[in-house]
Amino acid sequence: MKRIINLLLIAIMVLPLSANEGMWFLMHIERLNYVDMQKMGLQLTPEEIYSINNYSLKDAIVQFGGGCTAEIISKNGLVLTNHHCGYGQIAELSTEENDYLTNGFWAKDYTEELKPANLSVRFFVRMDDVSQRILSLVNEDMTELEREKVINQEIAKIQNENDEGGKYTVSVRSFYSGNEYYYFVYQDYTDVRLVGTPPNSIGKFGGDTDNWEWPRHTGDFSLFRVYADAEGNPASYSNDNVPLQVKYHLPVSMKGYEENDFSMILGYPGRTNRWMPSAGIDQNVKYAYPAWVEGSKTSMDAMKKHMEQSQQVNLDYASKYAGIANYWKNRQGMIDALTQHKTAEAKKIKEDDFVKWINTKDRKLGGKTGQDQRRKNYGNVMDAINNYYQKTNVKSKDDNYLVSALRGSNMITLPNRLNRIMSSLFNGEAMDEAKFNENIQPQIDNLYAKLHMPLERDVFIETLSLYANKASSPIESLIKMKENNADIRLQLGVLFDQSMLSSKERLTKFATKPDKEVYNSDPLIQLSNELFTAYRYQSDELKSLDEQYQKAFRNMIKGMREMNPDVTYYPDANSTLRLTYGTVRPLPLGAKPNDAAINYFTTLKGTVAKYQPGDEEFDMPQRLIDLYNQKDYGPYADKMGHLPVNFLTDHDITGGNSGSPVLNAKGELIGLAFDGNIEAMAGDVIFDEALQRTISVDIRYVLFVIDKYAGAKHIVDELTLVN
């Protein structure tokens, strides 16, 4: 891990927000942000960003696959997102004969576009504030369970009032840990098809080595299309479906950008924890994240040796491996950044200020009377929070070793996915061979379709032996294995081999003559059940601690906002649509060397400089090298003759923003976000104005790859290009 520059942090809890900090609700832009955005260069009105009655930018932003963001870039429902966001679908559609992940794919027309098994996009319709409606029904004398019951009942009413008979999906979400509530109305489309993707050597150039690092040289994009019925309504996949005619699509800028240009990002950031207490940060750094990192690396090592031996295995596990690897590096970066920045210490200072405020007389509140009211509302808040973390530190470590095993091993989770099949066999009538082949065999085939059993065996053994040896209180079965003289890996291997789940053939043979008692006595199924029981278990003490913590954390946030009435706050990210704005901006001078003349963008020259023939991470297609040597960039070069690849802005984003559009002052697309920088890895917890950066792929590089590299100019011709 590279040395992280240690600069002064700006804490959201008490200090004024920097211009580029914040993930803002679109409905609040006019009231909270518009004047500031105008001063920085914005040329749109608030109505052009968010409108209920007219088309606006929000109509072109979709949540992609539940975990990323994408944007609509043509009137015919063309969707642009990151290559890594579409990675699972691209891998799913790939075979050794048609390896789209390795070689790329470009549909020549609608008929060639490919439908993955499960992919949806979610359009945002509108949102509204229901805080007063919900909070008027609860009080501080309620237990957390009583409070939750009342709130959930009201949420059900709000959802029913706004879904228009099932036309829309309505989600009511809590913000500031239950101090505010908003509802969001969405429309979901499930017929989404692959249109185009560059090869891995472009879309994932740099691999794990460059992940979270600047400078980047990655063409991290892919293209999909939304289909609907003839009336434009969501519909299940059908040959009769047609490309969706959208309300609004983003125009694409060919002009590029300059340093300090205004820019903004709209997207679905996944989760931030800017209000996390100092004790929570300490728990993550010292207990939870180290276990996460070690568990993830164990899974990756066990998978990798098999993936390197077979291209089909590599394709089948590419998405799972990439997801584990991304968080492995992220969590190690979080440990380093939070430690280097002394983030827990900075948060502790603010918490001490909060405690002083609670115990300070306030004349506005009536002197001692006001002090007594604060003590009543907030007096035990920090003690309850600190007590919770002190008593759950070791458990957080154990839980992360366990979760790493559940996340890495498909075989541990397989019994859960088998339950429905087995219930139908145990409780149903006897099946003849024809009925079995029609109803049961396809389900079993589907469960094992992408599983490589030698790999699964190794992941099972390695992750569970790590959990058994490193957790303070592993499950009883593993404790007994540790007490035996034999190597626990050997014992786990024997257990795996004895199970009917160790091959599709053995399970199929059992399923033809099912026996519930035999099934329940299977050693792997028993172990899986024990692991999930441990994962779900909450002692009475922990339930009590959780309840105390939830109430205290909610009141900590309420009190700190009360303590700082002049600070404009934004809620933590929780996968709801947000806007963040700032400028095109390099890292601090001299922080990183780069191939471009100015260190806020990279060029194809730097990509070629990193080229390592045959290397998994830094190989390049020969055609891309030829285009570089010929300087055949078409209309996509900048005014200096460079072909820009990636660039930096100072936007406030997090996971879930992957694929988000980067827009200029006119709302034109200049790039799409795909990464952050390792120096600001603590950004989910505390914002660093000096170091926080978003790494994006330049839209001109996207167009160049589609047009000049792939020869798919018909796709570019769909777009609205602005010169």
**pLDDT beyond 50 at 33:** yes
Distances (CA, A) of 706 to 197, 633, 703, 709: 9, 12, 5, 6
Q: How many helices (H) and strands (E) does the chain have?
A: 28, 19
417: closest CA among 438, 456, 448, 441?
Answer: 448
Q: Of 84, 249, 341, 642, which is the active-site residue?
A: 84
Within a 10 A sphere around the Cβ of 628, how many other Cβ atoms? 18
Within a 10 A sphere around the Cβ of 643, how many other Cβ atoms? 23
Catalytic residue list contains 632: no
Average pLDDT over residues 341-370: 83
Write the single-letter amino acid at 544.
S
564: closest CA among 356, 354, 377?
Answer: 354
- Classify burial at 533, counting beta carbons within 10 Å of its beta carbon; exposed 0-12, middle 13-18, buried 19 or more: exposed
% of the chain at pLDDT higher than 70: 95
Catalytic residue list contains 675: no
Pick the range with the lowest mean pLDDT from 14-18, 238-242, 557-561: 14-18
Average pLDDT over residues 420-445: 86
What's the angle, vertex CA 29, arms to CA 26 and CA 35, rounded to 5? 160
Q: How confident is the model at residue 431 (pLDDT cuts 50, 70, 90)?
A: confident
**pLDDT beyond 50 at 7:** no
Q: How confident is the model at residue 81 (pLDDT cuts 50, 70, 90)?
A: very high
Tell me the C-alpha distance between 555 and 355, whole Å. 13
Q: Of 99, 220, 398, 399, which is the active-site residue?
A: 220
Q: What's residue 439's pLDDT?
A: 87
pLDDT digits (tens, 9 = 90+) for 586-603: 988 655 556 665 689 999
Tell me the C-alpha distance between 275 and 552, whole Å. 12
In SS3 terms, 4-47 reads as: CCCCCCCCCCCCCCCCCCCCECHHHHHHHHHHHHHHHCCCCCHH
Q: What's residue 65's pLDDT?
A: 95
Average pLDDT over residues 216-223: 98
Q: How confident is the model at residue 6 (pLDDT cuts 50, 70, 90)?
A: very low
Which strand (E) or helix (H) includes residue 249? none
Residue 285 per-residue DSSP state = I
Q: How confident is the model at residue 17 (pLDDT cuts 50, 70, 90)?
A: low
**pLDDT beyond 50 at 13:** no
Tell me the C-alpha distance between 27 and 129, whole Å. 9
Q: Of 56, 253, 296, 658, which is the active-site residue?
A: 658
Question: What pTM does this model have?
Answer: 0.90
**pLDDT beyond 60 at 666:** yes
Catalytic residue list contains 658: yes
Retrieve residue 302's tokens.
Answer: 């066990």
Q: How confident is the model at residue 5 (pLDDT cuts 50, 70, 90)?
A: very low
**pLDDT beyond 60 at 660:** yes
101: closest CA among 269, 278, 312?
Answer: 312
Retrieve residue 627's tokens.
Answer: 């285009």
Q: Pairing state of beta strands 78-81 and 68-72?
A: antiparallel
Tell me the average pLDDT of the chain: 93
pLDDT digits (tens, 9 = 90+) for 44-66: 999 999 999 999 999 999 999 98
Average pLDDT over residues 338-352: 94
**pLDDT beyond 60 at 4:** no
**pLDDT beyond 50 at 11:** no
Q: What's residue 424's pLDDT?
A: 85
Q: What's residue 16's pLDDT?
A: 38
pLDDT digits (tens, 9 = 90+) for 368-413: 666 788 999 999 999 999 999 999 999 999 999 999 999 999 999 9
The beta-carbon contacts of 469-474 under 8 Å, at least 24 apart in sequence, are 470/291, 470/294, 470/397, 470/401, 471/397, 471/398, 471/401, 471/402, 472/394, 472/397, 472/398, 473/398, 474/398, 474/402
Q: Where are the alpha helices (DSSP H) in 191-246?
A: 200-203, 207-210
Tell me the C-alpha distance between 22 and 20, whole Å. 7
Q: What's residue 14's pLDDT?
A: 32
Retrieve residue 58's tokens.
Answer: 């929000």
Q: What's residue 110's pLDDT?
A: 98
Q: What's residue 10's pLDDT?
A: 29
**pLDDT beyond 50 at 12:** no
Q: CB within 8 A of 500, min separation 6: which ones?
A: 506, 507, 510, 519, 522
Which strand (E) or helix (H) includes residue 264? strand 262-267
Give first-to-last CA distance, the chain, whole Å: 41
**pLDDT beyond 80 at 429:** no
% of the chain at pLDDT higher than 90: 86
Average pLDDT over residues 460-484: 95
Q: What's residue 485's pLDDT?
A: 79
Exposure string (b/e) for 8-45, b if CB count within 10 Å is 16 or more?
Answer: ebbebbeeebbbbbbbbbbbbbeebbbeebeebebebe
Tell me the C-alpha distance between 38 and 44, whole Å. 8
**Chain-centre distance of CA 58, in angstroms?**
20
